[in-house]
Structure 1
């Protein structure tokens, strides 16, 4: 586990590269955050609130047990010792696509939104991807219509494509899936 420097009252960004790096308390906090974000309508892997906390806990366990320095890392942000947000940075080991990675489940606790934590997580992931994983680009898929294109755009990402109406949140509520890329890192 490595950490990024922090200043007074700033978030601490930490990456986890192995299952052993995740304490039981952190695993529980990750599941709590994911449940909170999903139940608030966030597009972090469980699109239909309310979510089943047991399903979320099982998904967190799968992510944590799959951590490996070359292919799968969690980047977490803590504020005053409490989890403020996290994301999953992943690379496919297939040599054809091993030069790029993907961000998944980018999320911050509702009570700390607007404080730059999500942007900090994305920036930290860029550094990790480039400097530690030797990746050349990052990709992600975001739900359209909620301002995520602008959020990622401010961080240097650009829209690479769009699947119109790919996501059906409810009858009559279809959203685009927006494909975004960050290159070069």
Structure 2
């Protein structure tokens, strides 16, 4: 299968925009990423549809134009990856957003999908939501700090040993910030 060189990006801000087919594709991508060892929200592979579909449904049901956006990337109609941008509804922290679940399907790794999603997410946060900064938490020991730093993010802290993936495999949770947007 050949794919174009640049992924096509789409933004969704309401549950009605997500078709049943897209829900299935989001779930399938999440399963593939997790079972390939990706740090995208399910730390204990293997996972199955019964594990992931309800979480996907909950995420889709929370989509809202002002508070939660889903950004997808694809090649020729095939879902290659996705990410979620959340804005807290409380005014005290309404100027920043949180990035969750960035993932690239293993079949599309190394094609710039994650970078394209994060660049577009930054633009949406700044230009459409008026956010001033973004934050995320990444699993240490995966090389994610380098990926995010190449996109302008900086490490602002760690929770040492916060994540226990298995006996003898305890990782830091790395706190990262993108500021200014």
TM-score normalised by L of structure 1: 0.94
Is there any run of 5+ residues in structure 1 with no aligned partner, and where?
1-7
Which among 77, 82, 86 is matched to residue 78 of structure 2? 82
Structure 1's 17 and 151: CA in aligned 2 closer, same or farther, altered over 3 A?
Answer: same
Q: Residue in 1 aligned with 2:100?
A: 104
1:18 aligns with 2:14: yes
Q: Residue in 1 aligned with 2:168?
A: 172
1:158 aligns with 2:133: no
How many corresponding residue pairs?
178
1:137 aligns with 2:136: no
Deviation at 1:80, TM superposition (A): 1.0
C-alpha contact (below 8 Å) 1:86/1:107 kept by paired residues: yes
- Is the partner of 2:58 in helix, strand or coil? helix
CA-atom RMSD in angstroms: 0.8
C-alpha contact (below 8 Å) 2:5/2:111 kept by paired residues: no
1:38 aligns with 2:34: yes
Separation in 1, partners of 2:6, 2:137: 28
1:184 aligns with 2:180: yes
Superposed structure 1 runs of 4+ greater than 3 Å apart: none
